[in-house]
Amino acid sequence: MAESSTLGARVGKSTGPAQADLDKCVHCGLCLNACPTYRELGVEMDSPRGRIQQMIDVSNGGPIDADYIQHMELCLACRGCETACPSGVPYGRMIEAARAEIEAQRKRSRSARFARRFIFHRLLPSRVMLEIAGAGLYLYQVSGVQKIIRATGALDLLGKFGRIEALAPTVEVPFFFSQIGKTFPAEGERHYRVAFLAGCIANLTFCRLNEATVRVLQKNGCEVVLPAAQNCCGALHVHSGLKEEARGLARNNIDALLGSEFDAVITNAAGCGSTLKEYHELLADDPKYYEKAKQFSLKMKDVTEFLASIELNPNMRSLEYAVTYQDSCHLLHGQKIKTAPRKLLRAIPGLTFREMPNADICCGSAGIYNILQNDMAMQILEHKMASVNVTKAQVIATANPGCMLQLEAGARLYGSGQRVAHVVQLLDEAYRPKA
Ligand code: SF4
Ligand code: SF4
Q: Is the CB of 367 under 6 A from ligand 2?
A: no
Q: Whose CA is nearest to atom 2 of ligand 2?
A: 78
As a whole number, mean pLDDT of residues 371-380 equals 93
pLDDT at residue number 272: 94
Give the relative orientation of helices 48-59 and 66-74 as an angle to the nearest 10 degrees. 140
Distance (Å, whole) CA 335 – CA 331: 5
Bridge partner list, 267? 302
Q: Is the CB of 49 under 6 A from ligand 1?
A: yes
Q: Is the CB of 197 under 6 A from ligand 1?
A: no
Q: Is the CB of 36 under 6 A from ligand 2?
A: yes
DSSP state, residue 383: H
Q: How far is the CA of 38 from the centre of ligand 2 (A)?
A: 8
Instruction: Report the SS3 class of residue 324.
Output: strand
Bridge partner list, 395? 323, 419
Q: How far is the CA of 36 from the centre of ligand 2 (A)?
A: 7
Helix or strand holding residue 427 (H, E): helix 423-431
Task: Compute and round to an integer the Cα radius of gyration of the chain.
Answer: 21
Omega within 30 of 0 (cis) for the link into 349? no
Chain segment 103-160, per-residue pLDDT in tens: 888 877 888 778 888 888 888 888 888 888 888 887 878 777 777 776 666 666 555 5
Q: Whose CA is nearest to atom 7 of ligand 2?
A: 35
Cβ atoms within 10 Å of 127's Cβ, excluding its own? 15
Alpha helices in 182-283 (DSSP H): 202-205, 207-219, 235-239, 243-257, 270-276, 279-282
Mutate to test the pocket of ligand 1, among 30, 91, 95 (most ligand atoms within 8 A of CB): 30
Distance (Å, whole) CA 368 – CA 109: 20
Q: CA 365, 104, 40: angle at the middle one, nearest 5?
A: 30
pLDDT at residue number 376: 96
Q: How far is the CA of 256 from the centre of ligand 2 (A)?
A: 33
Q: Is the pLDDT of residue 46 over 80?
A: yes
Backbone CA torsion sign across 47, 49, 52, 56? negative
Distance (Å, whole) CA 296 – CA 408: 33
Distance (Å, whole) CA 84 – CA 141: 42
Q: How far is the CA of 136 from the centre of ligand 2 (A)?
A: 35
Instruction: Report the SS3 class of residue 397.
Output: strand
Q: Is the pLDDT of residue 5 over 60?
A: no
Please, what are the domains in the chain? 19-105 (1.10.1060.10), 110-166 (no CATH), 176-308 (1.20.1050), 316-431 (3.40.50.11810)
Backbone CA torsion sign across 366, 372, 373, 379? positive
Q: Is the pLDDT of residue 167 over 90?
A: no
Q: Across the chain, how many H-helices and E-strands are there?
A: 25, 9
pLDDT at residue number 195: 97
Helix or strand holding residue 155 (H, E): helix 154-157
Mutate to test the pocket of ligand 2, among 41, 47, 76 (most ligand atoms within 8 A of CB): 76
Predicted TM-score (pTM) of this structure: 0.90
Letter string b/e over residues 300-312, b meaning 16 or more CB atoms within 10 A of that residue's CB:
bbbbbbbbbeeeb
Per-residue confidence band for 9, with pLDDT thresholds at 50, 70 and 90: very low
Q: Whose CA is nearest to atom 8 of ligand 1?
A: 28
As a whole number, mean pLDDT of residues 169-196 equals 94
Q: Minimal CA–CA distance to 295: which of 232, 253, 338?
A: 253
Mutate to test the pocket of ligand 1, among 31, 33, 37, 53 (most ligand atoms within 8 A of CB): 31
Chain segment 382-425, per-residue pLDDT in tens: 999 999 999 999 999 999 999 999 999 999 999 999 999 999 99
- CA distances, 103 to each of 11, 12, 48, 262, 387 (Å): 12, 14, 20, 37, 36
Q: Whose CA is nearest to atom 2 of ligand 1?
A: 85
Bridge partner list, 196? 266
Q: Is the CB of 51 under 6 A from ligand 2?
A: yes
Q: How far is the CA of 65 from the centre of ligand 1 (A)?
A: 24
